[in-house]
A and B are shown apart, each in its own frame.
Chain A
Amino acid sequence: MAAEISDRVRELAEARGLPESEVFEQALERGLEDLWEDLVLARYLDGELAREKAIERVGRTKVERAEREREVVEEDVDWGLNA
């Protein structure tokens, strides 16, 4: 895995004409953004964060998608346990 990451960083740096350190920085920013969104949505779904606050932090589309996913899980559990 480590070798694969090094290879990818090198290829990205060459393809984009960037230093490898810049590739790492962009990767960290993107990864952090994903982790941040996951945390915000988890807190919202757990009732620890108000809906409007969650929308403010990650946007309405992502909040509405998370709500739909929760509905789907609930529908599936209900079906599976009662089929």
Chain B
Amino acid sequence: MTLAAVSDAGPLIHLAEIDSIELLAAFDTFLVPEIVYQEVEVGGVPDGLADLSYELVEADESQVGAEELDAGERAAIAVAEERGIVLLTDDLAAREAASDAGVEVHGSIGVIALGYDAPLDQAVETLGEYF
């Protein structure tokens, strides 16, 4: 099964914080909107992002009407909707806006579970150490 996703800033930052950004390599296609990259850049590009295979993409965030979301979140939703791929976000409001738009959406915890190929009980134990 081919996996394709686009991320807003949250998962990039949070996975980097727990030294797990390499788990994003589980996606066959991984996109980062340029505006999201700029947001991440403000706080310092996470270690490990440069080692990932990803594509910077332009997005028209104005087509997503959820004004309570920031530009990066709206851009990521726009890309996910346009390309029919998974959105990665850890923001509850962004998640709900994406779901309302028919986008499949997951967060950092899903990526950790995705990258974990050990038996279920061990995976749950590991997730418990993170959260």
CB pair A76–B113 under 8 Å, yes or no, is yes
Binds B, one of A16-24, A28-36, A53-61, A64-72: A64-72
A2 CB-CB contact with B under 8 Å = no
A15 CB-CB contact with B under 8 Å = no
A-B contact count (CB 8 A): 42
CB pair B106–A76 under 8 Å, yes or no, is yes
Question: Which one, A65, A68, A76, A83, contacts B109 given CB within 8 A?
Answer: A76
CB pair A77–B127 under 8 Å, yes or no, is yes
Q: How large is the interface on A (under 10, 10 to 19, 20 to 34, 35 or more residues)?
A: 10 to 19
A81 closest partner in B (C-beta): B113
A interface secondary structure, majority: helix
B interface secondary structure, majority: helix
A49 CB-CB contact with B under 8 Å = no
CB pair A80–B92 under 8 Å, yes or no, is no
A77–B131 Cα distance when bound, in Å, is: 13
From residue A77, how far is it (CB to closest CB) to chain B in Å?
Answer: 5
CB pair A80–B120 under 8 Å, yes or no, is no
**CB-CB contacts below 8 Å: B102-131 with A:** 106-107, 109-116, 120, 123-124, 127, 131
CB pair B1–A83 under 8 Å, yes or no, is yes
Question: Which one, A65, A75, A77, contacts B124 given CB within 8 A?
Answer: A77
B3 CB-CB contact with A under 8 Å = yes
A65–B95 Cα distance when bound, in Å, is: 13
CB pair B1–A77 under 8 Å, yes or no, is no
A78 closest partner in B (C-beta): B113
Residues of A with Cβ closer than 8 Å to B?
65, 68-69, 72-73, 75-77, 79-81, 83
* 29 A-B pairs in the complex with CB atoms less than 8 angstroms apart: A68-B92, A69-B92, A72-B92, A72-B95, A72-B107, A75-B110, A76-B106, A76-B107, A76-B109, A76-B110, A77-B109, A77-B113, A77-B123, A77-B124, A77-B127, A79-B113, A79-B114, A80-B106, A80-B109, A80-B110, A80-B111, A80-B112, A80-B113, A81-B113, A81-B114, A81-B116, A81-B120, A81-B123, A83-B3
